[in-house]
Structure 1
Amino acid sequence: MDQDKQAKLASKGWKIGTVNEFLDLTPAEATYIELRLALSENLKQRRTQLSSSQFAQLLNANPSQIEKLETGEASVSLDFLIRSLLTLGTTVKELADIMVHSQDFAGNPSV
């Protein structure tokens, strides 16, 4: 957002900040959310050759669980998300790379 727009908003009582500030997230919470989102996005990109129903059958899950996996839904366990990526052939090194790069989005220094 440009400086002029920020100044106009501030003069009218608006606060300018980040999502993390608005939600009052700790650095650990922000990093965890970014990690889940990065894993979910990667899963969505990797399963393009399978339909949702084919992928659901492969995981012994239902299509609504696949949708939740791909959107980063909080109700989906991190365990299920990682197992799903491994089922698609993701290597441990690739998982580590996803995790390292997810920190770039959270504004934290990379490992």
Structure 2
Amino acid sequence: MVMDAEKRKQLEAAGWVVGNTSDFLGLTPAEAELVELKTRLALLVKEQRKVHNLSQDALAQKIGSSQSRVAKIESGDPSVSLDLIVRALFNTGATRQQLAQVILDSE
């Protein structure tokens, strides 16, 4: 979301520092890319699960995990590994091409 230039000017005049999430968290460009990629992949897990009418519990059983872990995948929890996200995607029927498209779209 891009901030209105006038709003930004007003906030800065009032002493506020305006930046983005990466600035706030002090992320390197590589770390910011990883966060973006994991977020996009997590959204794809949720979309794929719903398209295939799988409950979180059913997906958890397919990947040998728990429903709460699937919920963490879908919410973008940073403790979830890329390995688990990718396994969840393949178990929802996602293809390599879909994963590649997510990677390409994040550039």
Q: Same fold (TM over 0.5)?
A: yes
Contact 2:59 2:91 in 1 (8 A): no
Q: What are the superposed Cα offsets for residues 37-68 of structure 1, whole Å, 9 maximum, x if unpaired?
A: 00000000000111111111122211111101
List runs of 5+ in structure 2 lacking aligned partners: none
Q: Note if 1:93 corresponds to 2:82.
A: no
Percent identical: 39
Equivalent residue, structure 1, for 2:6:
4
1-side partners of 2:60 and 2:89: how far apart?
A: 13
SS in structure 1 at match of 2:94: coil
2-side partners of 1:63 and 1:30: how far apart?
A: 28
Equivalent residue, structure 2, for 1:107:
none
Moved over 4 A (4+): none
Q: Note if 1:19 corresponds to 2:26.
A: no
Q: Which shows bigger deviation, 41-50 or 5-14?
A: 5-14
1-side partners of 2:83 and 2:73: how far apart?
A: 11
AA aligned opposite 1:29:
E
Equivalent residue, structure 1, for 2:72:
68
TM-score by length of 2: 0.89
TM-score by length of 1: 0.86
Aligned-residue CA RMSD in angstroms?
1.1
Contact 2:59 2:88 in 1 (8 A): no
Equivalent residue, structure 2, for 1:30:
32
List runs of 5+ in structure 1 lacking aligned partners: 104-111
Task: Give 1:88 shift.
Answer: 1.3
Q: What are the superposed Cα offsets for residues 80-111 of structure 1, whole Å, 9 maximum, x if unpaired?
A: 110110111111111111111123xxxxxxxx
AA aligned opposite 1:37:
T
